[in-house]
Structure 1
């Protein structure tokens, strides 16, 4: 086990530094947008540039990796991350920022594609849980650390943008200088959305909703903290609480969903999300502690529902369909991340900061309601081949190779 951890040490250091930059970038950009006086809808359009780049990268980057290898493409994508955030400092115009955020989204998704496929090649049945736990903790700590860098500078200046660009550039060094063996090229994967819907309608709809939920919060959560009057330290803490909730709850929720009908867990997650968002709406910034606690519970269901969708679809798929199914789910998730911020931003423009929470409340309610309706339409076990084991997944937004993420290892399947 120690040898396995040592073999990925440089990769984890690169991941940590990249996540520090990611956390800083995703907080400083919306704060600067608010400071510029741009409308909430305009900010949501900027966020859509990021999520669109993220989705495109999930489709395009594997082709580059197949052609020139992981390390070279990783270096190119890290360069794009630095370029994207530094351009935001050089040209402060929301129309230009849409393009710059597209570059950032493309870079971060492709970088995660490479990291996660690299990890998948290093894991086996004996160390899978440990390796991915280390990965998730690295992502969480790095992202939270980056968010807490924001209070150290003034978002109205170029200082934090330049710092973020430097951190991204440093993230390439550990991997570039590592003597560890590079992974084999990524295999291409096709997706079949009609087949996915026929196989699991709830995974189809649930993937769109989970993308809309996480994409909207990740893009506009920083705007929400500013609009309700929180300072940068308080805003960073709220975002950290949501992330921490998602990291802590993934395994418990996943293990319970292994024991019961996963749709029951989907319903429970939707209900918890509705109540937690409602509590956040009631308290706003009037009670910071209550907002932190409610945000934590939002996180406990905001991120794990994607993994439940994947597991439910794979329950009904044959082993040779895992790649196709996971590819389709990822594309749907990406479409959700593109559309969610636009709708959430429009509601914030109309109803104020609470519009974001109302959008999330309605999305959670629809998620739970659709799962309940599907339970009435299809009985437990109907159409199921074998129930696979739940696998915890890193926090969205994440890009990955459709053929390597969230696909149960055939060796893990019960005989």
Structure 2
């Protein structure tokens, strides 16, 4: 079954691999180039946060684009926009222009991720969702590693590195546009407000917020941190590549393990291991660079799978027509965490608190670990979608999943609360949250 699904979406996975290479290049490229141009730590942090602001807005737009023009055409338009925004950063090296272009890049990339992840979720079930999402993320991480290696031989002060990134985005259009892949139908969707999703699957929302904040800290400020502690440009590239490589190698085994055991326990173990490695990294200096590479790879292996684990855990309680809205909502929450994460740690470093970089990440990982263990005590492991309490909620036809007003969300929550009262006498296992 899984092999058939992978063959059916091979063109989609090929395209997302090329996009992963581009994303891996541009994040480190811009951080290094901003250091070379002497933009300053705080300014660089704000510029890099623009990507995540755009990411947030992209999650709002993508579900509407999917509804209006379909998965493939929406994918094509957003990929072209990302290529243009990257080229503009090479042509016009200015903090204000870079802020705007990073916003557009984040907007486009987040829309692409919503399209791809909701597409994959509609093809998966609870028995293989963790594995399928892990395969997808392994390909992305493989692309991110390749992007670091490409950047290692491309001069960050010139145009070529930016040109390669834009070229890869254009190449990513080809597999999707010339394939015979059948995209999922988009005529039905169910409203999934963030507040109600937080009530029904709180761990998925909390995990997305915290871990995306951690990822933003590492991708945006990690190269600058490595430079500040004394690593060379090539060592910075290896530092970043080691982090991504660790996550790539661990993604599939951890995803498979989560399909066989309680995902929350796997999340707790991963987050706890990530906190330990973050503490060790906070104590290491450039004199033991090989040990830094090993520890940062183990750190990536622990924390990078947490996003897909949280996404899979959330979708365990959803029906297929809820997954576009829920995917967008989760990415939206993660985008908020990213917007906060990068500038916060950049501000700390601006005022000399370099040693707090990994210590802050350690604290955030410990919160995810503790909350995962807490949720195990509050809710039984889901068996399948058909028996989950979330699946019993009635549908609400709308294409505005991510533009729901607070009043609409409160009405939805009130309806859920009344269902909880009605089903309370049927036994504790039927109670959501």
TM-score range (shorter-chain normalised) is: 0.7 to 0.9
Distance 1:253 1:100 in 2: 35
Are 1:272 and 2:273 matched, yes or no?
yes
* Whole-angstrom CA distance in 2 between matches of 1:21 and 1:183: 26
1:326–1:153 CA distance, 2 compared to 1 (3 A) = closer
TM-score, with length taken from structure 1 = 0.81
In structure 2, the CA distance between the partners of 1:169 and 1:302, relative to structure 1 (3 Å rule), is same
Q: 1:352 to 1:189 in 2, by over 3 A?
A: farther
C-alpha separation in 1, matches of 2:98 and 2:235: 26
Q: Distance in 2 between matches of 1:131 and 1:247?
A: 14
Contact 2:149-2:241 at 8 Å conserved across structures: no
Deviations 1:253-290 (A, max 9, x none): 45666677655544433432222112112113221111
CA distance in 2, matches of 1:370, 1:137: 26
Equivalent residues of 2:217, 2:342 under 8 A apart: yes
What is the deviation of 1:318? 7.1
1:174 aligns with 2:175: yes
Q: 5 Å matches for 1:3-402?
A: 5-120=6-121, 132=133, 134-185=135-186, 187-253=188-254, 264-310=265-311, 317=317, 323=323, 328-371=329-372, 374=374, 380=377, 382-384=378-380, 386-387=382-383
TM-score (ref. length: structure 2): 0.78
Q: Which residue of 2 aligns with 1:397?
A: none
* Residues 349 and 355 in structure 1, CA contact (< 8 A), matched pair in contact too: no
Distance 2:196 2:119 in 1: 29
- 1:116-143 deviations in whole A, cap 9, x for unaligned? 3444455578986775554333222222
1:80 positional shift: 1.0
Query: How far has the Cα of 1:63 moved from its partner?
Result: 0.7
Structure 2: which 5+ runs fail to align?
Answer: 386-399, 403-433
2:129–2:312 contact (8 Å) kept in structure 1: no
| CA pair 300-388 structure 1, distance change in 2 beyond 3 A | farther
Structure 1 counterpart of 2:431 = none
Q: Residues 63 and 353 from structure 1, CA distance in 2 versus in 1: closer, same or farther, beyond 3 angstroms?
A: same
CA RMSD of aligned residues (A): 3.3
Question: What secondary structure does 2:276 align onto?
Answer: helix
| Displacement of 1:82 | 0.9
The secondary structure found in structure 2 opposite 1:287 is helix
Question: How much does 1:74 deviate?
Answer: 1.6
Counterpart residue number, 1:407: none
Alpha-carbon contact 1:23-1:142 (below 8 Å) kept? yes
What's the offset of the Cα at 1:107? 1.2
> What SS does structure 2 have at the residue aligned with 1:171?
helix
> Are residues 257 and 163 of structure 1, via their aligned partners in 2, closer, same or farther at CA, if it must alter by over 3 Å?
closer
TM-fit CA distance, 1:314: 6.0
Asked if 2 retains the 8 angstrom alpha-carbon contact of 1:80 and 1:107, the reply is yes
Equivalent residue number for residue 396 of structure 1: none
Q: Please state how far the C-alpha of 1:56 moved relative to its aligned partner.
A: 1.2
CA 53–248 in structure 1, closer or farther in 2 if over 3 Å, else same? same
Asked whether the equivalents of residues 15 and 176 of structure 2 are also in contact (C-alpha less than 8 Å), the reply is yes
Evaluate the alpha carbon distance shift between residue 60 and residue 242 of structure 1 in structure 2; reply closer, same or farther with a 3 A threshold.
same
Question: Residues 303 and 5 of structure 1: is their aligned pair in 2 closer, same or farther, counting only changes over 3 Å?
Answer: closer
Contact 1:347 1:359 (C-alpha < 8 Å) held by counterparts? no
Equivalent pairs counted in the alignment come to 386
Which deviates more, 22-31 or 264-273? 264-273
Deviation of the 1:55 alpha carbon = 1.6
Conserved? CA contact 2:275–2:365, under 8 Å: yes
